Chain A
Amino acid sequence: MEQTLFYILAVVTVIGTIFAITEKHPVHAIVYLVTSFFALAVIFYLLAAPVVAVFEVIIYAGAIMVLFLFVIMMLDLGHPERAWRPHLREWWPALLLGGIILGAIVTLATGARTTSKAIPPVSVREFSRVLFQNYGVAVEVISMQLLFAVVGALYLGKRRKTNPSQPPLVSGGDKPFLPPDKGGPRGVI
């Protein structure tokens, strides 16, 4: 039963991803991608990784995709359904590299099978013991990386006064009556 479920979810994942990368509208592409990620989360659960499955739903489908949607709505892309699809001239490197990897897939499919015994699902206790005892330094490095990402995103998102196309009064956003260098949440930081 679990094998059948795995193959069904694999088909759902692949079809959702195909729809996501061929869709012209970014919001539709993200909805397809969320469908694909949910199916992939159930695949992770079937592969004895319930913690990774839960984080896939929470972080990927919950946080990252909502961040994409937020940025797409903030950008005001105009009419994406009138955008042009890539030409055939731009498809050939993708098709070349994809064909090479498909050769690897054929090699995998025609090779020998390795079957092993089923392992029990990894509990949160076991997972976190391995994470914090064996890989504690990596957790610290990742926390520093997230801090750097926050600092970089704040720097890039700051509206500069030298940009002539933006009037300086809108830089506060929700507080338009304060001066831009003292108002807004960045003044608190």
Chain B
Amino acid sequence: MIVPLEHVLILAAILFVLGLVGVLAWRSNIIMMLIGIEVMLNAAMLVFVGGAARWNVDGQIFALMIMAMTSAEVSLALALVVYLQRRKKTVNADAFNEMRG
């Protein structure tokens, strides 16, 4: 490895914290929450790739699977955002506080 594994883990932890802060603080905009989730998943991918560079190739496989999972998650979540915005005319997460079957 070109750098120690701890430095990769520190970078991934910083990215994860930034994504977590984005998700927890931006409750007024669902799209910004989804951006925070993307950042957190990228931090997890960075950990897997760093582990792959330290041990063997399997971490890269799991990074690819995280990417496929993210594409499915984002397509569903954005369809949900479009649906909710059509119903309530807003993207504020606090506005969606009721359920209807």
8 Å CB interface, A91-129 against B: 91, 93-95, 97-98, 101-102, 104-105, 108-109, 111, 113-119, 122, 126-127
B20 to chain A, nearest CB (A): 6
Q: If A49-B49, A146-B71 touch, does A71 touch B32 (CB 8 Å cutoff)? A: no
| Count, chain B residues at interface, CB 8 A | 70
> CA–CA, A93 to B27, complex, Å?
12
Let me know if A153 is at the binding interface, CB within 8 A.
Answer: yes
Residues of chain B from 22 to 64 with CB closer than 8 A to chain A in the complex: 22-29, 31-32, 34-36, 38-39, 42, 45-46, 49-50, 52-54, 57-58, 60-61, 63-64
Q: Does A169 contact B (CB under 8 A)?
A: no
Nearest residue in A to B14 (C-beta to C-beta)? Answer: A14
Q: Give the chain B neighbours of A111 by CB distance below 8 A.
A: 6
Check A108–B17 contact: CB distance below 8 A: no
Could you write out 29 A-B pairs with CB less than 8 Å apart?
A7-B7, A14-B11, A26-B31, A30-B35, A33-B38, A37-B42, A46-B2, A47-B49, A47-B50, A52-B67, A64-B38, A64-B74, A86-B25, A94-B20, A101-B20, A105-B10, A105-B14, A108-B6, A116-B54, A118-B2, A122-B52, A130-B57, A134-B58, A145-B72, A146-B68, A149-B72, A153-B79, A156-B82, A156-B83
Report yes or no: A10 in contact with B11, Cβ–Cβ below 8 A: yes
Contacts of A98 in B (CB 8 A): 17, 20-21
Identify the closest chain A residue to B51 (Cβ). A47
Of the candidates A20, A37, A102, A166, the one whose C-beta lies within 8 Å of that of B17 is A102
Complex Cα spacing A13 to B83, Å: 32
* B65 contacts the other chain (CB 8 A): yes
Q: Could you tell me if A47 and B82 are in contact, using CB atoms closer than 8 angstroms? A: no
Given contacts A3-B2, A33-B38, contact A146 B72 (CB under 8 A): yes
Map CB proximity to B onto A19-43 as digits: 1 under 8 Å, 0 otherwise: 0110000100110010011001001
B17 touches A119 (CB 8 A): no
Alpha-carbon distance A130/B65, docked complex (angstroms)? 13
Q: Are A21 and B6 in contact (CB under 8 A)?
A: no
> In the bound complex, do residue A86 and residue B13 qualify as a contact, i.e. CB atoms below 8 Å apart?
no
Most chain A beta-carbon contacts within 10 A, residue among B25, B26, B50: B25
Contact A67 B79 (CB under 8 A): no
